[in-house]
Amino acid sequence: MHEYSIVEGVMDGVIPLARQNGASRVSVIRLRIGTMTDIVREALDFAWDVVCDERGPIVQGCRLEIEPVEPHFVCMACGHEYDADRLHPRCPVCGSGQTLLTKGRELEIASFDIETPETSDDES
C-alpha cells in the first residue's frame, strides 16, 4: 500500500538528519499534506506504527502530526486566486472552469523534534 512507502520515504529523510544532529530519539515528525492527495489517514497511522517499530529505537514511539493544506486555485481566465473545495473548482469571480490547482497536493516534511542525550527531558 502506498502509505507504507510514504512513511518509508519520510524516515529515510528524517533519520539520517536526526543522527547528524546527535539525536538519541525523534519525538515528533510533522508532515504537510494537501487535502487533494489520496492519502488515507487511518492507513497512514497504521503504516507509521509499523515503520517506527521496524526502524528501531531512534523513532520508536515517534508521534505523527499532520498540517493539512487546503486546495488553492488560480483562474486561467482572469488570474484570480482563491481557496475552494475540490468539488467546486470554478472561479468565483468570472465563473471560468479553466482553473489550476496550485496548492493541495503537498506531501512534505514540515519539521521534526529530536531528543539528544543531553536534553533527554520530554517537554511535550
3-state secondary structure of 45: helix
The dihedral over CA atoms of 27, 68, 20, 63, expressed in degrees to the nearest 10, equals 20
Nearest distance in Å: CB 103, Zn ion: 17
Q: Which residue's CB is nearer to Zn ion, number 12 or number 83?
A: 83
Q: Which residue's CB is nearer to Zn ion, number 1 or number 100?
A: 100
Q: Which residue's CB is nearer to Zn ion, number 60 or number 98?
A: 98
Interface residues with Zn ion (CB under 5 A) are: 75, 77-78, 80, 91, 93-94, 96
Question: For the chain, how big is the Rg over CA atoms in Å?
Answer: 18
Q: In 3D, which of 17, 43, 44, 23 has the Cα closest to residue 111?
A: 17
Q: Which residue's CB is nearer to Zn ion, number 32 or number 80?
A: 80
The dihedral over CA atoms of 83, 44, 9, 71, expressed in degrees to the nearest 10, equals 0
Nearest distance in Å: CB 106, Zn ion: 24
Nearest distance in Å: CB 62, Zn ion: 44
- Under DSSP, the state recorded for 66 is E
Nearest distance in Å: CB 90, Zn ion: 9
